[in-house]
Each structure stands twice: as C-alpha cells, then as structure tokens.
Chains A and B, each alone.
Chain A
Amino acid sequence: MPQIFRSSSNKLSLFSLIALFVTLILVAASAYGYFKSSYHTDVGVIREQVIPFSHKHHVQGLGLDCRFCHNAVEKSNTAGMPSTELCLGCHAEIYRDSPILRPLHESLKKDHPLEWTRVHNLPDHVYFNHSIHIKKNVSCETCHGDVGSMPLVSKQRPLTMMWCLECHKQASETKDLTTCTTCHR
C-alpha cells in the first residue's frame, strides 16, 4: 500500500506551524494596533457639533479662561457646559446675524437647550470628579490637551484605565489612589 503522505508533506506541516504562529502574532499585533488606534480611542476625531465652536478663537484669540464657560469645574464632578444665556451674554451683540449662531438664537426663542455631542466620554461605571483634580493641580491640558489651540475640539488622550493609572500610581505617597473604589462604586 502506497504512503498516503509524501515526504514533502513534512515541509507543509512545518509551514503550517510557522504560519499559525505568524497568524497569532499578526492577530495580536492588529488587535494591539486597533485598540491603540484613534478608531478605537477616538483620539483626534472631530465630532460634528450643533455650532462649530472654536476654542482657539475664544481662548487664544480673546483670552477667555476655561472657567468662564465651564464654571462648575472647581466645585463639582462635572465641568459644566455654558447655558444659552451665557453665550448670548456676548453674542446678543457680537456676530448677531451670523448664520453659524442661528441655533443659539433658536434655542432661546424656543426655550430648547443646545445639544452638544460629547467628545470626552467615560464609561458609566467611572466616577470622575473634576474639582478634586483641579485642586490637586492637575491642569485641564493634562487630560484634554491644548484645547485653547484647537479650532474644533477633539480628544487628545485615550482616557483608558491604563492611561489614568499612569498618574494615579505616582500621584500620592500618603494615599492609595489605585484602589478600585477611587473611581468605581
């Protein structure tokens, strides 16, 4: 009875072993690449907003402080978004007839709030508090990047748990900031 497999089959099996190994590495590498990519982390992705608001113009151009609009940042867990009324404080006069600002005037007229698309979105089981980070001298730029130079804002840091822990591991010598309940409850 002839042999079922020829001697060249040995090469084939060796090749398939190597191929399997290479495939695994490729899969792992592409997964790593995927999770690091901006497609997954949203870093650098600009979202369409109801008004194409330029932070660059307001911060670098006019010299407004972040806290002028995000005024809860030192007091609360959230930084807070400016109300229509606050925007209109200036824009009732300045650029009043600009078509870009039409949604703003509509908002007041119809008593319907502006709906912005969230750029920095943490999962629901993460309880982040802005006020304590500001108090501990973590600047806005640390997490948000140099928003003041961005015409349209995008996420600059991945905001993954690993990324948070980079700071939290060395933040304090007296306190353990890496226990689970620091951020999750």
Chain B
Amino acid sequence: MYRKDLKTHWTSEDPSTEVLESLHREFPVDASIFEGPDSRRDFLKLMGASFALGGMNSCVRSPLEKIVSSVIAPVSVIPGKSIFFSRSLSQNGFGIGVLVESYMNRPIKIDGHPDHPMSLGASSVALQADILNFYAQDRIKIPLRKKFDSSWMAFHEDWKKYLIKNPAGEGLWILHEPDYSPGFHHMRSLFVSKFPQAQFISYDSIDSKRSEASELLFGRDLIPFFDFSKPKVILSFDYDFFSDPVSGLKYSRDFAKLRSKNKNRLYSVETDYSLTGAMADHRLARTHQSIQFLILQLAFELGVTLAHAELKIEDKEWIKSVAREFKKHHGEALIVGSEFLPPEVQALIYQMNEKLGAFQDSMSFVKSHAHPENKKKSDLYQALKNKKVSGLITLGVNPIYDSHINISKVPFTASLQQSENETTEQSYWVLPESHPLECWSDARSINGIITINQPLCSEMYDSKNTLEFLSLILDDHQSSHDFIKGLWGLSQNDWEKALRSGQLKKETVIEHPAFKKVKFTPPHTINNIELHLKADPYLYDGKFANNGWLQELPRPISKTCWGNVALLSPDLAKEKKLKNNDVVKISVDEISIEIPVWIQPGLADSAIIVNLGHGRKNQGKKYGTNAFKLLSEKRFFVLSADISKTGSVKEVACTQLHHNFPGTEPLRVVDLGDLKKVKKEDKNLPTLFPTAPIPQSEKYAWAMSIDLNLCNGCNACVIGCQSENNIPIVGEEQVKVGREMHWIRIDRYYEGPDYSKVHFQPMACVHCEKAPCEVVCPVGATNHNDEGLNQMVYNRCVGTRYCSNNCPYKVRRFNFLDYNDRYSRSLKLRSNPEVTVRSRGVMEKCSYCVQRISEAKINADLEDRNIRDGEIKTACQVVCPTQAITFGNLLDPKSEVSHKHAEAHSYGVLAELGTRPRTEYLYRVKNPQPDLLS
C-alpha cells in the first residue's frame, strides 16, 4: 500500500514501478529462483541425482534410538514436564524478574515474571533473545593464552607473577559492565581492600548525561522514575520511554492502563521516529537543538523561567496550546525528557514537573547505586596515554570496539567474555565467561527488589562468572553459590523461599528530594546537519550483535534489518539528491564512515540518524558499519556533520513492502469523539468459500483479539513467537528476496500529510473460518479442525505454495531452503521440544500456539474440567508489555475474547472477502486535542 493509492494509511512513499509490480506478486521477483552459482544444466544434473539418491534414502531404516535414564533422579523433575525458575536477568546493571522454562535441565525459553513489578509477565526483545546467546556456537569454551588453549590454573600462575610486581594492584584497571547487585558490590569492596590501588570502571559505551544532570540538581546521583498510570497528559521530549531498557516494560504496562480506557493524551517532540512518537496523539519532529528551544518556551509558558525562545509561529502556538492543557490538568500531567539532553535542560524539565504537581504521584527518584569511587573512562584514557596502566581486565565489555583504545602496550591484559570480540583479539588472556543462566548471582531491580539468581544447569563449558573470576584472583576460589549464600546468610527455609519466589526483599529506594534551581541559557543555533548516534534498539551498543534473532528483527519504523543505515528525511534526501541504498560518506572532524542511506519520512528535516552497535569485526560479521568511529567523548549528537554521495550502492535488507496487501484498507483508525459512532459490522457476510467439512466443536472455538490502540510496535511478540515455535533465521540475502520466516509481523502504516502518525498492526494467521488457503491445497496439508484452527500438517505438505498464493493476508511462510540448523549440537538443545522443527520445502504459519492448547486440554481432562478462560496464553500474548493481545474461547460468553469480539469497534481484517477471520482487531483510537486539530 503506497501513498498515491489515495488511502488514508500507507506503508510506503510513492514506490517505483518495480515495487508496484511486486505488490501484485505472491513473493518478490525471483524469490523462487535458485540463485546459486550453478547453471541450469548443473541444476538439472543435481536434480536428477537428488531424485535417484532421494529414492535410495527411503530404503534406509530409521536408526535405533537410546533412552537415557538418570543415575539419581532429581526430586522436582518429572520427565517430559518443564519446570520454571524464578530469577532475574540484568539490563544495564538492574535486574528484571524473569521466569525461565527448563525442559529436562536445559533452558528453552525466557519470559517475564508475573509477580515482579518491573516485568509483570512481559518481556522485552533483549530478554527473550538472551536464550540464543546461551546456546551460541562460538562461545569461548576454555581459557586461551595468546589464542592457544590453556587452563585456569595457568592463568592463576600468571596472575601471581603479575602481583609480585604490583602487590597492591598498582596501575590495575578493571572494566566491568554496569552491575548494581549487592553481590558485586560486596565483591568489589573485598577486592579493593586487598588491592587498594586497583581502579574500577563501570563501563557503559552509551553513557548519557543523566548523572551530570542529577549531580547538578541534587548533588548526588539519582535516577528519575515515573508512573505513567496516573498522568492524563504526557509530553515526551525525545525520550522513548516504551523502549527504556530498564523500565520500559513497566512504563508500557502503566501507560496502557489509561490508554485502554482512552483517558490519556500523549504529546511527543523528537528527532528520530520512536515508539513513543508513534503512539503519540500529537507529534512534532524537530532537531536536537530546536527541542531545547521548545523546552525553554514551554518553561516560559508554564511560568518556570522568564527567558523565552525565538520560535517559529506554529511551534509557538503548539507549545502554547500544550501549556494550556497542562495547566488544566494540574497534578495529572507529566513531562519527560531524554537523558541525552544537556543537564540544565533536564533540570528545567524537573522544575516544570514540580510546578505541574507531577512530583510524588507520577515522578520520583531512585538511588543509582553507582559506586562513588568508580573512575571515568576519560581517566583510563589519560592513564593509558601516560603509560600508567600495568594491567587491564575487561569483564564482559568491549572497549576496543567502542572506544578505539590501544592496549598493546599494557603488560598484563585479560578479558572475560562469552564469545570472541574485538577486545579478546588484543588480550593476552582470553577467559570464558558463564552465561547468567548457568551460575549463581544476585540482582537489584531499579525499584529495589533483591533477587537471588539460581542457575538452571551447570556450566556448559569451563567458564566462570564475574563473581567467581574476582574470587579467583583474590585467591579465595569461592564458587558463586558459596559466595552468594555466605553473603546473605539466610536460613535454609528463607533461602528456598527466596529462590522460589524470585524476590528476597524490597529495599526502599524511592526518594522525593528537594533540588536547586538551575539557569539555562540556550545555545546559539547552528543551521547545519545534525548527526545523531543512537544505541541500536535491539543490538544496543553491539553486545547483542552475535544474536541472529535480533539482527533479523526489522527495526520498528524503518523495517530495515541486518546492518545499520543512515536515516534521512525525504526533504534532506531530495536536497542531497540521494535515494534509498545510495552509499554516503558521513564525516566528522576528518573521520568518516561509509553507510547506505534509508529515507525515513517523519524525521526532523536536517537530521541524520545512525544506529551504533553494528559493523562488529568477529560477531555478526560484515553487517553494517561501526559508527562508534564518529563518537568522541559523549558526543551522541554531532552538530556539524558532512554528508556526501560516494556513488556506490548497497542494497539494504528491508521488509517494508514484503507480504503487503495492495488496494485494501486493513487498518482502521478513529478519533475518540467518533468512537461511539462506529457501527457493528455484519460478521456473517455471504461467502463463496466452503464451510469446513467437519462438524464444529460445541465446547471450544479459539479466537484472538488484538487491540491496535495498545500495540506500541515493540516487536516483543515477534521474538516471543520465534523462540516458542522454533522459527529459523534466514540471513540478509534471503530477507532481501522476501523469505523471512517470522510467523507474526508488525505492519507499520503512516498517516497524515507530514507522516506525523504511525500505526502498528501485528499480523499473523487470522485462522479464517472459511479459509481460502484450504480449498487450494492439493494434498489437504492445510485444513480445519473442529475448534476452528486452521491447521498446518508439515508431513503432508509437498510445497506447491498454492495456499500462500491464495492467502489474502500473506501470513504463510515457506521454507525455501533448509533454514533450521538441525545439526549444531548447542542449537539443537534450544529448540522447543513441543514444536516440530521444519525442514526445506514445507509451508508454515501461526498455529495459535497449538502445543499450548493441546497441553491445556490434556491438563483439563486430567482434572475432569473444562479449560478456564485465560488458561491458554499464546507466546505473543504472554510477552506483550501492553497486553494488547487476548486469546480464548468464543463459545464461552464470559471469556475476555468474547467480550472484545462483541465490541462495536472490533473488526476482521479483509472480512469483506467472506473469510470470517477468528482474529479480530479493535480500532486504533486517536485522542487529539481540539485546539491542535488544524
């Protein structure tokens, strides 16, 4: 769907004729063509041989299998049943409660913990995908000295030799990931008491200006913490709170509380197009500099400052009407701002919130728990320059990639890492780091909940975690279990209780401190092109670059994957005569990178946005460009970048127009005022599609409802589904020809003359009651069951792809190649044992998580009862931070999904075709402010 289609919502700007043509095709051009190096003749030869050998293959008898029993059966494990571990995983140093599924002692899925307030059952893309890091094939397996196999003992000998020269740790620098857990804190103090000269850096390559702002206002380091369930008017200045790595899940859930009743209004001023901007009822796209002026103007309107800014008339009016609304909602308003804004500006935002009465209720502060004696990165650079560094230990961080320091002159270097990276390449000692799921630790959540983390299995390799490593070099040789148990000193009863619940205790961390007033003088405007360097939404600073799920996940708005791009607004692209895929050279102070261009409507006009975390040397290799090169000392916004065309072209993998339905209007949006006027549609339109040939059950009819008003496009459902249903990744080349395998995709639609609105629509198989795919299958591989599931039988499928051709929703996925890695040992262990791993030549699609339905049915039958409402939760439903997805039984009039389907504004996508989809959508509701409705 494209803009000139005269539709209200579209996915792409006026596309080229090639793209237009592709819209009428089942798959993109050449998707079904074998693009190997072999000629047609070779292909025929291979086919002939395959036929002959394939025939022989059927003569092979399946090999005998072994049943391996246990020596001593573990007490709590019933063979064939999963058990769930309450624990937490760390995000930027703070724990988030998770529930990890373990099947026969192997972790297979990570979900949010329903009782942990920072998760409430939801989980983010990064948490979900961490399970793949656990099974990564290229994890370091044994200690390496100068890249040769060695042992921990040899390392310890070396370390002792180092200590002879530096007994108090003189010139020893330890770089670790941010970790605010009590256990690490204690270990650190033990370390410092033995080696008082050693220096620690809590190393975060994307460090914001939050702590400076906090120091300026309060004289100490505090983190703002919000409650979005209370304010009715929210304004965000370039802060994407939905994607906050630490608190995003809680913020999303809180926001959804009022949004589901249409009782809040969100304004957003931002440069990039973020999830928050997409959810906003009013959005302005402005540069980093202009945003500061807008903040100053708002402060003036609200009576916080006397200075006001020079603004364009429309911006002035915008701010004025927003200020008016804020004054109306005293005590129910909240302003949030990016942590990357200058400290004085952040301070100004806090002052406005105080004036609006947002403190106490919706805004508070929590202790940062950062160690006061931690050194800064600049101190290390200085020490390196002065050759004052005698030893450098990097614990899970990768400074060679993101800071380009040179450590070749440092006498003793050791690096504890899960897999090889730029830093291990230059380290003398490379040591295997345990994955958090295989060792003991503890964690503190940002709101003060302490969790004791137990491992799900013993270490797969000869690895140690940070605690064990520091204990080793302290010559204590304590295991992480003994250390954590000794630290907390709990009785056996309390210990087990803490492990079971995943919550040991709650510390009070919330504060409402008084603060100083700070003056802000706006900078002089420079009318140059602004370059924004941002953490990638999924790869973060590159630490997840080795994760194929995250590499292949389309970025929410641009829909690009496998590598980064320079996002430009259409106007800037026109001015510079750039098209999509043109490679440009972006230079800052004589350092330059080359990167392909992607035109992103709705960006601030003179801004270029480049994501960091790509272009790694050994992980996620060859994808994208390392933009850290352009980053010097916290300059995430470069105010004068040069951009020039290089003339070369690099095709970007983008799923924007894949699986599109041209000429239809699948998305429905309504203004809040008109919501009551929406008429209920006739859901039993006449249809030519035949009825399912088998009688329908009188007990269950499964259905799903997706609330478009709550979907914020975070993509968690896509990864949740991928993890549950053993969905393979296909790689960059295959994505380019439209062969990505995600069963659920999130369609993104633009609206408005300046692309000021974005709407998301999750789209998976809708399980039509009169399914067009079923009638065309020559072998009955896709058919209906008695409970309304459109089932896919892999063993019957011969791969004609007729079903996909006839599917109006384009939700069927075909295994063009053998995408699922069924042979690597470690990846085999990750697969969900309840779902078939598909091989080449088979069609697949969303099954409504039929394995979960089967399990619930068996459990209900074992207990002689019916399945309760809410007992079955599909994988996408569980992970959703805003609870936009509901699943249940339509034949139960009291079920939640029945209620939602009965709403007047519940509609079936393409229901006009007579397909009678079981998945229905609730309208997206806009809540615009009347004054701004020009």
Interface residues of chain A, those whose CB is within 8 Å of chain B, are: 47, 72, 75-78, 80-86, 107-108, 111-118, 121, 123-125, 127, 129, 131-132, 135-136, 174-176, 179-182, 184-185
User: Which chain B residues numbered 527 to 547 have a C-beta less than 8 Å away from chain A?
Assistant: none
CA distance A135 to B80 in the complex (A): 17
Interface: B306 (CB within 8 A): no
* Closest beta carbon of chain A to B848's beta carbon, Å: 10
Main secondary structure of the interface of A (DSSP, over half): loop
Interface residues of chain B, those whose CB is within 8 Å of chain A, are: 62, 64-73, 78-81, 694-695, 697-699, 783, 785-786, 789, 791, 793-795, 834-836, 847, 850-851, 853-854, 858, 861-862
Residues of A within 8 A of B68 (CB): 113-116
Indicate if the CB atoms of A135 and B861 lie closer than 8 Å.
Answer: yes
Question: Given A72-B80, A127-B854, A132-B858, are A81 and B791 also a contact pair (CB < 8 Å)?
Answer: no
CA distance A115 to B42 in the complex (A): 45
Indicate if the CB atoms of B695 and A176 lie closer than 8 Å.
Answer: yes
Indicate if the CB atoms of A76 and B80 lie closer than 8 Å.
Answer: yes
Indicate if the CB atoms of A76 and B793 lie closer than 8 Å.
Answer: no
Residues of B within 8 A of A115 (CB): 66-68
CA distance A85 to B79 in the complex (A): 16
7 contacts between A and B (CB under 8 A): A47-B64, A76-B79, A78-B80, A83-B71, A132-B861, A175-B699, A181-B847
CA distance A72 to B62 in the complex (A): 27
Indicate if the CB atoms of B795 and A179 lie closer than 8 Å.
Answer: no
B67: nearest residue on chain A (CB-CB)? A116
CA distance A176 to B65 in the complex (A): 32
CA distance A76 to B833 in the complex (A): 14
Indicate if the CB atoms of B71 and A125 lie closer than 8 Å.
Answer: no
* Closest beta carbon of chain A to B324's beta carbon, Å: 57
Indicate if the CB atoms of A184 and B66 lie closer than 8 Å.
Answer: no
Indicate if the CB atoms of A86 and B65 lie closer than 8 Å.
Answer: no
Specify which of A116, A175, A184 is in contact with B836 (CB 8 Å cutoff): A184
Question: Given A127-B834, A176-B697, A176-B785, are A72 and B79 also a contact pair (CB < 8 Å)?
Answer: yes
Indicate if the CB atoms of B64 and A113 lie closer than 8 Å.
Answer: no
A129: nearest residue on chain B (CB-CB)? B858
Residues of B within 8 A of A131 (CB): 858, 862
Residues of B within 8 A of A118 (CB): 64-67
Ranked nearest first, the 3 interchain pairs of A and B with the lowest CB-CB distance are A179-B785, A76-B80, A78-B80
Residues of A within 8 A of B694 (CB): 176, 179
Question: Given A83-B69, A112-B71, A185-B847, are A121 and B62 also a contact pair (CB < 8 Å)?
Answer: yes
CA distance A47 to B69 in the complex (A): 17
Residues of B within 8 A of A108 (CB): 71
Specify which of B65, B698, B786, B851 is in contact with A179 (CB 8 Å cutoff): B786
Specify which of B73, B78, B847, B861 is in contact with A86 (CB 8 Å cutoff): B73
Question: Given A179-B786, A184-B794, are A84 and B66 also a contact pair (CB < 8 Å)?
Answer: no
Indicate if the CB atoms of B858 and A113 lie closer than 8 Å.
Answer: no
Indicate if the CB atoms of A84 and B69 lie closer than 8 Å.
Answer: yes
Residues of B within 8 A of A47 (CB): 64
Indicate if the CB atoms of B791 and A181 lie closer than 8 Å.
Answer: yes
Indicate if the CB atoms of B850 and A84 lie closer than 8 Å.
Answer: no
Indicate if the CB atoms of B851 and A185 lie closer than 8 Å.
Answer: yes
Indicate if the CB atoms of B858 and A111 lie closer than 8 Å.
Answer: no
Residues of A within 8 A of B854 (CB): 127, 181-182, 185
B837: nearest residue on chain A (CB-CB)? A124
CA distance A135 to B62 in the complex (A): 31
Indicate if the CB atoms of B793 and A184 lie closer than 8 Å.
Answer: yes
Indicate if the CB atoms of A121 and B835 lie closer than 8 Å.
Answer: no
* Closest beta carbon of chain A to B828's beta carbon, Å: 12
Question: Given A185-B847, A185-B850, are A83 and B70 also a contact pair (CB < 8 Å)?
Answer: yes
Indicate if the CB atoms of A81 and B69 lie closer than 8 Å.
Answer: yes
Indicate if the CB atoms of A124 and B862 lie closer than 8 Å.
Answer: no
* Closest beta carbon of chain B to A52's beta carbon, Å: 16
Indicate if the CB atoms of B862 and A125 lie closer than 8 Å.
Answer: no
CA distance A108 to B793 in the complex (A): 43
Interface centre among A115, A184, A185 (most CB of B within 10 A): A185
A161: nearest residue on chain B (CB-CB)? B795
CA distance A174 to B795 in the complex (A): 27
Residues of A within 8 A of B835 (CB): 185
Indicate if the CB atoms of B847 and A107 lie closer than 8 Å.
Answer: no
CA distance A123 to B862 in the complex (A): 25
* Closest beta carbon of chain A to B161's beta carbon, Å: 37
CA distance A80 to B105 in the complex (A): 15
Indicate if the CB atoms of B80 and A121 lie closer than 8 Å.
Answer: no
Specify which of B69, B786, B862 is in contact with A176 (CB 8 Å cutoff): B786
CA distance A108 to B836 in the complex (A): 35
Indicate if the CB atoms of A76 and B791 lie closer than 8 Å.
Answer: no
* Closest beta carbon of chain B to A135's beta carbon, Å: 5
CA distance A76 to B80 in the complex (A): 6
B781: nearest residue on chain A (CB-CB)? A180
Question: Given A117-B64, A118-B67, are A85 and B72 also a contact pair (CB < 8 Å)?
Answer: yes
CA distance A170 to B347 in the complex (A): 74
Indicate if the CB atoms of B72 and A83 lie closer than 8 Å.
Answer: yes
